[in-house]
Structure 1
Amino acid sequence: MFGIYSFPSETKAKEECKRIRDKYIPDGRLTDPADDVFFRALVDEHRHREEKVGAGIEYFQVRLNGSLRARTGNYGVWIKQYGVDDLIDFGYGGVISRLANAGGARQEHARIDRALRLAIRPITDEFLSTWRESGRPLVSCLSGETMRSGDAIDVVHDVPRWGELVRGFIARFAELSAIETRRLDQSLGEIIVSDEIRSSWIQYHRDHAVLGLSTPQENAARSRELA
């Protein structure tokens, strides 16, 4: 979820923070180097990182939130900056929630991406088959190199690229959840549940996509450039 740390859920991440915090209640400074490194990694994910780090983090301190003008009377983990007498509020729970929400959004995009790819698979398969049957040279649209008929060949989205095409289509929907999908066997991916949405996507793809050929290596390198 952050740094070198990974948790199966937002709840588990918060439980780990609480476990560390509880070791130092009621008014303790975090002394275990592993605990210190853990919270520093979490601070690095804060949207106001520069403000929280200041001239540098000297140490973390557990204090009763109410004594430091925080919203609740629970204990929290606070930041002691170099050169600053007052402790700085942290709010690690909010950081974890934001990271979890971002992860959820990525999963939503991945889910929809799989379903959209599968929906237009017959189109890309037909494109490659028709090109091979035409006897035209198998020229990569990415490098201009001619490929041999026995080579592994990928069908790629030349202009616009796949990511741009997908973003353009899903922008039509107020929420990603509006594009409902159903997971099939791992080898089959995911399908769009709504026939109307699937048909709309296929038509959108026909209207906007420009397909081309490339080697798998070129396609993979192109994907890394966008990462």
Structure 2
Amino acid sequence: MAEFWIGQRWYRTKGAAQEAVREVLYRYDVGSTVDQDDDHLLLLDLLDMHPEADDKIGSGVEAFAIAPPQRGPHPGFEVIRTDGTRIDFSYLTCLKPPTHRQQVLNVMRDEVKAIANAYFEARKAAGSLISDESGAPLESTDTAVAYFRGPSFNGIAREFADSLGGWEAIELTSSSEKGLGKFRDRDLAERWFVHHQERAVLGLLSGQENRRRPRT
């Protein structure tokens, strides 16, 4: 069977990925909040794969909880949004083949990763590896380049897609590497790079601070 990815996590098969998610689901009691950082981050990346991710995320993800069974005997996951509302989501739906929107988002992030890398290296060279949220010193191995001081990455990407008429207007090449292709139109790729560069307001956070940020 083909390998499977959830965010940057590689699994030998889709079944292995499903089992990793199930382990999180049954690690907690029904009604409890997912409070382990690695579990929280996995569920954030998993939710991004949902075909209705924008609707599920809403105002942003504050946390995840284990919801009681709705149909059948098994519990499920629930999103706790930053505005206090809650909504359930099916992890099995998330594990279906990625939507075109999700594929485009993955490619978009890959196309601009050099910007985040350059920002990190510049801060490191300047001796300013400190959290822009708490002011605490950061270890280079536990530092995240984040969008918390301006529009989110997904918001910047959504604005670009909307300017073209929607996600389907962005054509991708095929690739087996991490499920990623490239922009078929390289001029459009350059436009995306400039669009992102003009709008991204980057900052540094610790890994834990970044994992606990609301996801929008």
If the length of structure 1 is used for normalisation, what is the TM-score? 0.48
Q: Which has the larger radius of gyration?
A: 1
Q: Say which structure is richer in helix.
A: 1
Greater RCO structure (CA 8 Å; 6+ sep): 2
